[in-house]
A and B are shown apart, each in its own frame.
Chain A
Amino acid sequence: MSKTYRAVLIALACALLALTVASCGGDDDDSGEDIALTGLQEGATTTGACAGEPVKGGDLVYARQSITENFNSLKIVNGNGDIFANNLIFQGLVRTDPKGSTKIEGAVADKWEVADDGMSYTFHIRPGIKFSNGQPVTAEDVKFSLDRFGDPKINVTLAAVAVGYKGTTIVDDETVRVDLTQPVPAFLYNISIWPGFIVPKDLVEKDEEAFFKDPIGTGPYMVKELKRGSHLTFEPNPNYWEEGKPYLDSLRWDFATDSNSRILALKDGQAQIADGIPFSQVNSLKNSGEFVVQTAQVPYFVGLWFNHKREPLADLNVRQAMQYALNRQEINKSIFHGVGTIPNSVLQQLKYDAPPSEVKPYPFDLEKAKQLMSASKFADGFSISLKYPAGYDYYKQLGLYLQNAWDQIGIKVKLVEADQSTLVDSFYKGDYDMAFPYAQFTSDLPVPDEYAQFVAEPRSGLNGFFSFWKDPEITKMVREFVSNPDEEERAQQWPEIQKALNEQTPWINVMDLPFIIAHAKNVCGTDINALGSDSLENTWIAKAE
């Protein structure tokens, strides 16, 4: 090879490298890391193009991280991919505030009364409410739907929300009464989510399978087409009961499970809104000045579960030492790019939670951690494994961080990466030491009743939600809390439980996280409810100025 050729080759190689490196690193400017977090927005935009009244019209494409597989509310197969689609098609008697508070408001029912003993609820069906095909919602439909909700053979995956359901009686054409076997203060929340959605009795009875392929509900949108693995198109429900809503002419969900693809689609204008924005992309998207990065506080946390059958983890001193050894400021900054919130509870952020001034988060205190370790039965340290879900860069980083942090108090952590199916399988079988059991660990309800019973009610059969932890004191407190119909008393009881759980720290909540979406600046009314579901009936597109 002559010298000239060699030089040409080298130049060519350099040019190629430069081209590719430049085009992929082009707009990743992380220099503004420390100050960047001020610009994150909670809740929908109400300024700029979105300052005026909502206008009708427009087509919206939403790049979604979870694929929708089916519309059967009682047979959710793909988590939020299915649930969030169901939320647009169907509604329950009541719903949580579409704008994100934990307030309950009417949906299919517009009014209801609760008996003084909390043992029965009377619902009045909203006058004139119709399903999307135009047929009126009847008391028969409501009874049929709630009986399905209350039948654990049909409502298999979320039977816990039907706790205490006795039956529904039709009082008259517009009124039903639901009787309970015990007071269930969270009952309205329980029927507000998907297992309690109202469906037309005649159509479901005629051919259930066909019905859920082409579903009919009272929600703001109807399904136009589901192309498996590709996209889902909605059209507005012409019979929707909220005056003037939905605003959009059409809505399309493009499934893009890969986060890079979602961001690219957004930047390219193929989609105007995208969910599941990775922490590492928040700053570059925001700094581009073209998009609004919006966060929603939802019951979503980085739960690190302990198996109490492993002796060291059954030792309170050890567990508390592990808490004190974590520098959460550092974790938040370096791994979650500042979007997390330092928790003062070992569960998700839930209604009735006391503020950090009342229940204190564990501060970073290495000295205290070391003292607690030497006071424990494992003063010489121990070795233990941590299983985490594969395919998420931040779990890998977190694993390495924890390994290093706990090494300083004599705990040797062995990291084990596992795919999600393998991970939950071993979790449910109790075949783990420590685990991040779910990549996205959320509560189904905004109130603590569900998870409080999962973890502290032995009758749930879940063994302290697979931790094998038990504490009769806390169980007693939880039982009082979940059966107390008095709202004010509940609001005082929960912080006590929160505090007791936090002190016991049966497992660790590393960080509370928000859901993060990003959208073009003229996409307005992007409300997200308290469970992270997009209230797309409120979404509208501002005309170009």
Chain B
Amino acid sequence: MTRYVLNRVALGLVVLVGLAIATFLIIHLVPGDPVRQALGAQAGPEQIEQVRDQLGLNDPLPAQFWQYFSNSATGQFGDSFVQNTPVGDLVGDRIAPTALLIGYGLLVAFLIGVPLAILAALKPNSAVDHAARLVATFSFAMPLFWLGLVLALLFGLELDIFPVSGYETGVGGILKTLTLPAVTIGLALTVIVLRTLRSGLLEVMQSDYIDAARARGLSERRIVAKHAMRNAVMPTLTIMAIQVGFLISSAVVIEQVFQIPGLGSLLVESVERRDYEVVQTLVLLAGATVVFVNIAADILQAALDPRVRLAGR
């Protein structure tokens, strides 16, 4: 098991280094100069050169990368040149709304997806089954910003249950302001929970040990909850772990639609201004989250299913 975990972690680190290199190259090679952008049309070439020198932007790219890499590895993310603020502070200021949004979105997806999946699996090809899958597929297929706007129109403007945009802190404030955005993300994800869990359950429900459980006279509820779910939930967990990337990118879009001051909107602003340090840090953070969640899912799966960890040898 230890060997398996180490294996996964080492692989994750390789991915992160690759991501750091790719992000660095993309943001530095794309046209657009943060200094020029900040100083405007009138700044003379000498002034621009002077600021570029101060920021180390005139050093050779490999030197700049090494600087960035060694700093990042020790947890120093530098200062945002544009905002004149440490990147750590900027991220710290805005991480909570994004984390809450993603967590809440996942919760919504499970709250809607799991019961529907069970219903659908117990009565495959019933009206409930088809309707559930249709609605879920529909909301998945909608562009997120559009789905968000429709929900804001419906529950914000028409029914006046939630505010149409903004963010407030505190439990009440979060429930008030993050519910619509979380439902938007949750609805889009529901189809994944629904479909994977439904097919997992369907398969498991036809297996011999379920027949055996039935033969022993266990109640259907107990069979599903205790015996079938444990096995059926595995593929769902794996797929949800892969979907973390989707969740993070959804947050970028949804934060714009609902004006949530999170990391997603910070990323958009920073890319527009070519705020190198902030963009690099945010992308690395997002990448690290995806890698971490995937490792965690792998380990969880290995813990639940010995076949997985043995195969990893």
Interface residue ranges, A against B (CB under 8 Å): 1, 5, 8-9, 12-13, 16, 20, 23-24, 26, 67, 69-70, 75, 77, 152, 156-160, 209, 227-231, 254-258, 260-261, 264-265, 267-268, 270, 419-422, 424-426, 428, 454, 461-462, 465-466
Question: A422 CA to B153 CA in the complex, in Å?
Answer: 35
Q: Which of A8, A23, A420, A454 counts the most chain B CB atoms within 10 A?
A: A23
The answer to whether A24 and B150 have CB atoms under 8 Å apart is yes
A270-B131 contact given A156-B47, A421-B273, CB 8 Å threshold: no
Chain B residues near A264 (CB, 8 Å)?
Answer: 149, 152-153, 156-157, 164-165
Task: Give me 6 A-to-B residue pairs in the complex whose CB atoms sit less than 8 angstroms apart, sorted by A's number.
Answer: A5-B125, A16-B135, A228-B93, A268-B160, A425-B32, A465-B41
What's the minimum C-beta distance from A490 to chain B, rounded to whole angstroms? Answer: 23
- Distance in Å: Cβ of A449 to nearest Cβ of chain B: 14
Provide the bound-state CA to CA distance between A426 and B37, in Å. Answer: 12
List the A residue with the shortest CB-CB distance to B266. A229
Per-residue CB contact flags for chain B residues 18-54 toward chain A (1 = under 8 Å, else 0) read: 0000000000001111001111111110010000000
Q: Is the CB of A254 within 8 A of B166?
A: yes
**Which residues of chain A have C-beta atoms less than 8 A from B41's C-beta?**
424, 428, 454, 462, 465-466
Q: Total A-B pairs in contact (CB under 8 Å)?
A: 143
Decide yes or no: A9 and B130 within 8 Å by CB, A23-B150, A228-B90 being known contacts: yes
Choose from B42, B165, B167 the contact partner of A157 (Cβ within 8 Å): B42
- Docked pose: A8 CA to B90 CA in angstroms: 51
- The CA-CA distance from A254 to B163 in the complex, in Å, is 13
B94 x A228 contact (CB < 8 A):
yes
Which of B112-120, B198-206, B231-239, B252-260 is found at the contact surface with chain A?
B252-260
Q: In the bound complex, how far is the Cα of B153 from the Cα of A426, in angstroms?
A: 40
Known: A228-B90, A270-B163, A421-B31. A70 touches B37 (CB 8 A): no
Whether B195 sits at the interface, judged by CB under 8 Å, is no
Task: Tell me which of A13, A75, A156, A256 contacts B138 (CB under 8 A).
Answer: A13
One digit per residue, 1 when the CB lies within 8 angstroms of any chain A CB and 0 when it does not, for chain B 215-258 equals 00000000000000000000000000000000000000000111
- CB-based closest 3 A-B pairs: A421-B32, A230-B261, A229-B261
Taking the nearest CB of chain A, how far is it from the CB of B43, in angstroms?
Answer: 6
The answer to whether B256 and A258 touch across the interface, beta carbons within 8 angstroms, is yes
Partner among A1, A23, A255 whose Cβ is within 8 Å of the Cβ of B125: A1
Q: Is B83 an interface residue (CB 8 A)?
A: yes
Answer yes or no: B272 CB below 8 A from chain A CBs.
yes
Q: Are A77 and B83 touching (Cβ within 8 A)?
A: yes
Interface size on B, residues (CB 8 A): 54
Q: Which residues of A contact B157 (CB under 8 A)?
A: 264, 267-268
Structural contact, A256 and B165, CB atoms closer than 8 A: yes
In the assembled complex, B84 has its CB within 8 A of some CB on chain A: yes
Q: Is the CB of B131 within 8 A of A265?
A: no
Report B143-163 CB contacts with A as 1/0, cut-off 8 Å: 000100110111011101001
Residue from the list B36, B94, B153, B164 in contact with A23, Cβ < 8 A: B153
**Which of B38, B131, B163, B269 has a CB less than 8 Å from the CB of A9?**
B131
B residues within 8 A CB of A255? Answer: 259, 261
Q: Is B265 an interface residue (CB 8 A)?
A: yes
Q: Say whether A461 contacts B32, CB under 8 Å.
A: no
How distant is A327 from chain B, measured CB to nearest CB, in Å? 31
B115: min CB distance to chain A, Å: 19
Q: Shortest CB–CB separation between residue A191 and chain B, in angstroms?
A: 17
Q: Which residues of B contact A260 (CB under 8 A)?
A: 149, 257
Residues of A within 8 A of B131 (CB): 8-9, 12
Enumerate chain B residues within 8 angstroms of A20, measured Cβ to Cβ.
150
Q: A10 to chain B: closest CB distance in Å?
A: 10
Q: Residues of B contacting A227 with CB < 8 Å?
A: 261
Assembled-state Cα–Cα distance A421/B275 (Å): 11
B140 to chain A, nearest CB (A): 13
CB distance from A106 to the nearest CB of B (A): 28
Q: How far is the CA of A425 from the CA of B257 in the complex (A)?
A: 28
| A465 neighbours in B (Cβ, 8 Å) | 41
Q: Which residues of A contact B283 (CB under 8 A)?
A: none
Additional 16 contacts, C-beta under 8 A, given A23-B154, A229-B262 = A8-B130, A77-B38, A157-B40, A158-B42, A228-B93, A228-B94, A256-B259, A258-B259, A264-B157, A267-B164, A270-B163, A419-B32, A421-B32, A421-B272, A428-B36, A428-B41
| CB within 8 Å for A156 and B37 given contacts A257-B256, A267-B157 | no
Asked if B43 and A156 sit within 8 Å, CB to CB, the answer is yes
Bound complex: CA A344 to CA B84 (Å): 42
Flag whether B295 is at the interface (Cβ < 8 A).
Answer: no
Q: Is the CB of A261 within 8 A of B258?
A: yes
Residue in B closest to A212 when the chains form the complex, CB atoms: B84
User: A23–B36 Cα gap in the complex (Å)?
Assistant: 44
Give the chain A neighbours of B44 by CB distance below 8 A. 461
A265–B164 CB distance below 8 A: yes
Q: How far is the CA of A265 from the CA of B258 in the complex (A)?
A: 10
Interface pair A270/B164, CB less than 8 Å apart: yes
Q: Judging by beta carbons under 8 Å apart, are B164 and A5 in contact?
A: no
Task: Tell whether A462 pairs with B42 under 8 Å between CB atoms, given A12-B134, A264-B165.
Answer: yes
Chain A residues with CB under 8 A of B160: 268
Tell me whether B30 and A422 are in contact (CB under 8 A). yes
Tell whether, in the assembled complex, residue A159 and residue B42 are in contact, meaning their CB atoms are under 8 Å apart: yes
Q: How far is the CA of A461 from the CA of B47 in the complex (A)?
A: 13
B6 CB–A CB distance under 8 Å: no
Pairwise interchain contact A422-B32, C-beta atoms closer than 8 A: yes
Chain B proximity of A274: nearest CB distance (Å) = 11
Known: A16-B138, A23-B150. A425 touches B33 (CB 8 A): yes
B175 interface hit (Cβ, 8 Å): no
Residue of B nearest to A391 (CB): B272
Are A261 and B36 in contact (CB-based, < 8 A)? no
A152 CA to B38 CA, complexed, in Å: 15
Interface status of B5 (Cβ within 8 A of chain A) = no
Q: Is the CB of A426 within 8 A of B84?
A: no
Closest to B275 in A: A77
Task: State which of B82, B149, B262 has its C-beta within 8 Å of the C-beta of A24.
Answer: B149
Which residue of A has the minimal Cβ distance to B262? A229
Cross-interface CB contact of A5 among B127, B138, B266, cutoff 8 Å: B127
| B contact residues around A70 at 8 Å (CB) | 83-84
In the assembled complex, the Cα of A9 lies from the Cα of B32 at a distance in Å of 50
With a CB–CB cut-off of 8 A, which chain A residues contact B39? 156-157
Whether A75 contacts B84 by the Cβ 8 Å rule is yes
Write the chain A residue with the least CB distance to B37: A421
